[in-house]
Chains A and B, each alone.
Chain A
Amino acid sequence: MYKSPDRVRVIFAWIWGALLLVSISTAHAEKFAGIGRKATNHEIAAWDIDVRPDFQGLPRGSGSVAQGEKIWVAKCASCHGEFAESPSVFPPLVGGTTKADIERGRVAGLSAASENSKTTMMKLATVSTLFDYIQRAMPFDAPKSLKVDEVYAVTAFMLNLADLVPADYVLNEKNIAEVQRRLPNRDGNTIAHGMLEVRGKPDVSGKDCMRDCPVDTNTMLVLPSSVNGLNGNLADQNRPYGSIRGIETRRAP
């Protein structure tokens, strides 16, 4: 079909215009020329391993309680104890939760009335956290050495120790949401407080009283003498000259 020179010109103008628009938008996106490049999908997959409470990022896989127990005995028990109960190296992981806690979604042992030590399973509100941390940071001396199925297995074993899944359970990316609904402290957290935002309201504010302010020195608590020397000799932690020195707190041999 014949095209008039004018029409050709108009078409060229459109093309030029479009090219110009593209180049402007590209220039806008690259305000800092030559700095940074697009991440490849393989790079993102290699590093983006985090798993969110809504299970965004959870890899497909599965692991049984029995498989988890084998890995646990070989790679975890030396620090955490056979039943994840040991406080000898790190705070205990499992213990202190009850059937009633599982029903309620709140761990009674966390309230002030309880003298129990706080285990990870008592505090844990999101099972994703357990999976994510084992995958990224455990074992302590060989982090990221577990395969995805092994992470599932170790997670399953810990959940079994906490009476959340039976001994023949096989944890996978589909049924992990069921476990979430049984976590003993799933409803135990709040973000309704004043320390999330700069403009948040503090719990308490002190007074700016300047004279004859109320003071109760009868209830004064003092550093117990039993700790004397535990932090070393304070004379050696202050300058050895001047009018302010460290007190000799060397422990008697």
Chain B
Amino acid sequence: MSTRRCCRPRANSRFMSARRSAGRLLPAPENFIPDSLLEEISDHGLDASRRDFLRKSFVAASATLASGAALAAPDHPAADGDMAILQPSVHATRLGYPVAHTPYGLPSKHEANLQRRESPGLTRKRESSISFTPLQGLFGIITPSGLHFERHHAGWHDIDPRDHRLMINGLVSTAKVYTMAELMRLPSVSRMHFIECGANSAMDWASPAVPSVQYTHGMLSCCEFTGVPLSLLLEDCGIDKGKAKWVLAEGNDGASLTRSIPIERALDDAIVAWGMNGEMLRPENGYPLRLVVPGLQGVCWVKWLRRLEVGDAPFGTREESTQYLDLMPDGVQRQYTVIQECKSVITAPSGGQRLLDKGFYSITGLAWSGRGKITRVDVSVDAGRNWKTARLESPVLPKCLTRFNLDWEWDGKPYILQSRAIDETGHAQPKIAELRAVRGKRSVYHNNAIQSWQVSAAGEVMNVQIS
């Protein structure tokens, strides 16, 4: 698929070489050949039926030119109707591809713009770096597995599950080793949860620094995870509940990344997971085994999980002793700031996007809380002066993304859009100025501030911050 994609004429870029007229983007008049036909020709060559189709298209386009209706938008009807309806569809008039043509299905080639992307200047080593989820184009609450954000500390591996082991040791009556086959025989649960890096929205702590929701909020994903409850495994090894206070989780990557998990979280809803969105975890997300610790920052969800050690004190690992510390203005560092607090963001319209038309839009976005369920999301279009309560789409689950929508009619005037989530503990998402008043401007982690998107009269949306 990828080679075909690379060798195709860039029909989309022709479409994008458009000009603005009467408040609407219009295609150049010479664009009479539908994108789909261009791609068919590029794939299969110009056979008789396609040649015939091309001839008809040219006649139709010439007629349109002659009638002076060439400025009509492609998805708006010409005088006698929409060419997408009036012309015979290339898809409806010939055979399509056979079954299993793509044994593992891929997204449409028309969706290629939505990809995980890096943000420049964050790290110098791509093995210890981040790629962001394209939230601006996603629907509902589930992140497609191939678009789940990445954060690796020493690169990722594709581990043969036959070679993978999980060891549990420390304050247990029997230190045990499990194979993947053994783990997958145990009683499993499947639950949907969000995962957010503690450093999500870090680049905007001091001021707006990145242009789109992919980079402001894209270290956020939400999947259905399948695995065995961690509490079941700890009990299977005979955990010493009297002494156990922390559980160390360790990965099988080069960093052997370790993180201490508070025992309350470990025994509550944590899962030792192999499944993600109905299939095995993707290698970038910890295949074949990762820890799922709902509500806790992403670094606690140790990937390629190989060992759990029960202890009576935290382990003081690098990822909790020199990294993932919350630096306060007085120089004190908060350690073990694991909970991801109540937060939301409008994903469309959002930064770096442009509204082409006036009229009806759904203001849509995501809300989540590491402390439980989302109970309410309010949306403002006037920079936070007045708010309307948005619709929460089902399901609304604890420690899971919740999709919200609000009907909106854009009249071509400037607006500032915001969303504000409230969770079941009653905690309302704060403003950035309120957070800075406590934590200062040099903080990195746990920015759960209200996000503001400024919509200009031209329909362009920009990342701004309102006190």
Contact = CB atoms under 8 A, between A and B. Distances in A.
A185 to B, nearest CB: 8
A118 interface: yes
B167 A39 contact: yes
Nearest to A222: B464
Contact of B322 (A31, A124, A200): A124
A39 B255 contact: no
A43 B338 contact: no
Given A89-B124, A244-B353, A244-B356, A137 B154 contact: yes
Nearest to A123: B322
A201 to B, nearest CB: 9
Interface string B440-467: 1010001000101010000011111111
B438 A195 contact: no
B208 A188 contact: no
Interface residues of B, number: 135
Contacts of B115: 237
A125 interface: yes
B167 A43 contact: yes
Nearest to A193: B334
Given A110-B327, A204-B435, A244-B353, A136 B178 contact: no
A222 B462 contact: yes
Contacts of A90: 124-125
B385 A215 contact: yes
A223 B438 contact: no
A127 to B, nearest CB: 10
Interface stretch (A2-10, A45-53, A62-70, A147-155): A45-53
Contacts of B304: none
A223 B462 contact: yes
Given A108-B331, A200-B339, A123 B325 contact: yes
B393 interface: no
Contact of B16 (A38, A198, A228, A240): A240
Interface in B297-352: 306-307, 309, 311, 313-318, 321-322, 325-327, 329-339, 341-342, 348-349, 351-352
Interface in B221-265: 236-238, 248, 250, 254-258, 262, 264-265
B38 to A, nearest CB: 14
Given A126-B321, A188-B331, A211-B386, A37 B208 contact: no
A245 B254 CA distance: 40
B262 A197 contact: yes
B431 interface: yes
A199 B438 CA distance: 20
Contacts of A44: 167, 169, 175
A213 interface: yes
A238 interface: yes
B466 A215 contact: yes
A112 B339 contact: no
B136 A36 contact: no
Given A50-B248, A209-B387, A204 B430 contact: yes
B321 A129 contact: yes
A157 B188 CA distance: 48
Interface in A172-213: 185, 188-191, 193-200, 202-213
A208 B428 contact: yes
Contacts of B289: none
B339 A247 contact: no
B87 to A, nearest CB: 18
Given A137-B256, A237-B214, A240-B12, 13 more contacts: A31-B236, A50-B250, A54-B313, A111-B331, A189-B332, A196-B339, A197-B262, A221-B464, A227-B209, A238-B137, A240-B16, A245-B356, A246-B353
6 contacts: A44-B167, A56-B313, A196-B337, A222-B464, A245-B356, A246-B353
Interface of B: 12, 15-16, 25, 110-111, 113-115, 117, 119-121, 124-125, 127-128, 134, 136-137, 153-154, 167-169, 173-178, 182-183, 185-186, 207-212, 214-215, 236-238, 248, 250, 254-258, 262, 264-265, 295, 306-307, 309, 311, 313-318, 321-322, 325-327, 329-339, 341-342, 348-349, 351-357, 361, 370-372, 376, 378, 383-387, 416, 420, 422, 425-431, 433-435, 437-440, 442, 446, 450, 452, 454, 460-467
